[in-house]
Protein backbone atom coordinates (compact mmCIF):
# COMPACT_ATOMS: atom_id res chain seq x y z
CA UNK A 1 0.00 0.00 0.00
CA UNK A 2 1.09 3.53 -0.76
CA UNK A 3 0.61 5.76 2.29
CA UNK A 4 0.58 8.93 0.16
CA UNK A 5 -2.31 7.59 -1.93
CA UNK A 6 -4.22 6.57 1.20
CA UNK A 7 -3.89 10.03 2.76
CA UNK A 8 -4.76 11.81 -0.50
CA UNK A 9 -7.76 9.55 -1.08
CA UNK A 10 -8.93 10.07 2.47
CA UNK A 11 -8.92 13.86 2.17
CA UNK A 12 -10.47 13.84 -1.32
CA UNK A 13 -13.38 11.69 -0.17
CA UNK A 14 -13.72 13.52 3.17
CA UNK A 15 -13.90 16.83 1.28
CA UNK A 16 -16.74 15.48 -0.84
CA UNK A 17 -18.70 14.03 2.08
CA UNK A 18 -18.38 17.18 4.20
CA UNK A 19 -19.51 19.25 1.25
CA UNK A 20 -22.49 16.94 0.72
CA UNK A 21 -23.36 17.17 4.41
CA UNK A 22 -23.51 20.94 4.15
CA UNK A 23 -25.35 20.94 0.81
CA UNK A 24 -28.09 18.51 1.81
CA UNK A 25 -31.17 20.27 3.18
CA UNK A 26 -33.73 22.95 2.45
CA UNK A 27 -32.66 25.25 -0.38
CA UNK A 28 -34.40 28.38 0.91
CA UNK A 29 -33.20 28.34 4.51
CA UNK A 30 -29.81 28.12 6.14
CA UNK A 31 -31.33 26.62 9.29
CA UNK A 32 -30.56 23.08 8.15
CA UNK A 33 -27.03 24.03 7.03
CA UNK A 34 -24.27 24.39 9.62
CA UNK A 35 -21.71 27.16 9.29
CA UNK A 36 -19.25 24.91 11.10
CA UNK A 37 -19.71 22.21 8.48
CA UNK A 38 -19.09 24.78 5.74
CA UNK A 39 -15.92 25.85 7.55
CA UNK A 40 -14.79 22.23 7.89
CA UNK A 41 -15.51 21.62 4.20
CA UNK A 42 -13.37 24.63 3.27
CA UNK A 43 -10.46 23.50 5.46
CA UNK A 44 -10.53 19.89 4.22
CA UNK A 45 -10.83 21.04 0.59
CA UNK A 46 -7.78 23.28 1.06
CA UNK A 47 -5.85 20.33 2.53
CA UNK A 48 -6.92 18.12 -0.39
CA UNK A 49 -5.79 20.84 -2.80
CA UNK A 50 -2.39 21.09 -1.14
CA UNK A 51 -1.97 17.31 -1.37
CA UNK A 52 -2.63 17.48 -5.12
CA UNK A 53 0.07 20.09 -5.77
CA UNK A 54 2.95 17.62 -6.21
CA UNK A 55 1.39 15.51 -8.98
CA UNK A 56 2.98 16.31 -12.36
CA UNK A 57 0.73 14.10 -14.51
CA UNK A 58 -2.09 15.24 -16.78
CA UNK A 59 -4.72 13.68 -14.52
CA UNK A 60 -3.02 15.38 -11.57
CA UNK A 61 -3.55 18.73 -13.28
CA UNK A 62 -7.24 18.01 -13.76
CA UNK A 63 -7.56 16.85 -10.14
CA UNK A 64 -5.90 20.06 -8.98
CA UNK A 65 -8.24 22.13 -11.17
CA UNK A 66 -11.35 20.46 -9.73
CA UNK A 67 -10.04 21.00 -6.24
CA UNK A 68 -9.32 24.68 -6.89
CA UNK A 69 -12.85 25.13 -8.25
CA UNK A 70 -14.32 23.56 -5.11
CA UNK A 71 -12.20 25.71 -2.79
CA UNK A 72 -13.06 28.93 -4.62
CA UNK A 73 -16.78 28.18 -4.64
CA UNK A 74 -16.83 27.27 -0.94
CA UNK A 75 -14.89 30.40 0.01
CA UNK A 76 -17.26 32.56 -2.05
CA UNK A 77 -20.21 30.82 -0.34
CA UNK A 78 -18.74 31.65 3.07
CA UNK A 79 -18.13 35.26 2.03
CA UNK A 80 -21.70 35.65 0.73
CA UNK A 81 -23.07 34.14 3.95
CA UNK A 82 -20.87 36.40 6.12
CA UNK A 83 -21.66 39.59 4.19
CA UNK A 84 -25.40 38.94 4.08
CA UNK A 85 -25.41 37.98 7.76
CA UNK A 86 -23.43 41.10 8.67
CA UNK A 87 -25.78 43.35 6.72
CA UNK A 88 -28.82 41.74 8.42
CA UNK A 89 -30.15 40.81 4.99
CA UNK A 90 -29.94 37.03 5.31
CA UNK A 91 -32.97 36.15 3.20
CA UNK A 92 -33.99 33.19 1.05
CA UNK A 93 -32.11 34.57 -1.95
CA UNK A 94 -28.83 34.79 -0.05
CA UNK A 95 -29.39 31.31 1.36
CA UNK A 96 -30.01 29.87 -2.09
CA UNK A 97 -26.83 31.52 -3.42
CA UNK A 98 -24.75 30.02 -0.60
CA UNK A 99 -26.27 26.57 -1.09
CA UNK A 100 -25.97 26.75 -4.88
CA UNK A 101 -22.30 27.63 -4.63
CA UNK A 102 -21.79 24.69 -2.32
CA UNK A 103 -23.62 22.50 -4.85
CA UNK A 104 -21.17 23.57 -7.54
CA UNK A 105 -18.30 22.72 -5.22
CA UNK A 106 -19.94 19.35 -4.54
CA UNK A 107 -20.07 18.67 -8.28
CA UNK A 108 -16.36 19.51 -8.53
CA UNK A 109 -15.65 17.17 -5.59
CA UNK A 110 -17.64 14.34 -7.18
CA UNK A 111 -15.73 14.85 -10.43
CA UNK A 112 -12.47 14.71 -8.48
CA UNK A 113 -13.46 11.48 -6.72
CA UNK A 114 -14.50 9.85 -10.02
CA UNK A 115 -11.20 10.83 -11.63
CA UNK A 116 -9.28 9.61 -8.59
CA UNK A 117 -11.04 6.23 -8.69
CA UNK A 118 -10.42 5.98 -12.44
CA UNK A 119 -6.73 6.76 -11.96
CA UNK A 120 -6.50 4.17 -9.19
CA UNK A 121 -8.16 1.48 -11.31
CA UNK A 122 -5.92 2.32 -14.27
CA UNK A 123 -2.66 2.18 -12.31
CA UNK A 124 -0.52 -0.92 -12.50
CA UNK A 125 -0.42 -3.29 -9.57
Domain residue ranges in the chain: 3-122
Query: In angstroms, rounded to a whole number, what is the distance separating the alpha carbons of residues 11 and 15?
Result: 6
Predicted local distance difference test score (pLDDT) of residue 28: 74
pTM confidence score:
0.89
Residues 6+ apart with CB under 8 A from 95: 27, 28, 29, 30, 33
- The tens digit of pLDDT for each residue in 9-55 reads 899 999 999 999 999 987 777 788 888 999 999 999 999 999 988 88
Convert the pLDDT of each residue in 65-105 to its tens digit.
Answer: 999 999 999 999 999 999 988 887 778 788 889 999 999 99
Q: Are 120 and 78 in contact (CB under 8 A)?
A: no
Amino acid sequence: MNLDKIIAGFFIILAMTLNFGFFYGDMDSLVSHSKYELFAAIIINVIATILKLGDKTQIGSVLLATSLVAVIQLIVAAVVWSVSDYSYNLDAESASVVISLSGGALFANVTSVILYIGETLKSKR
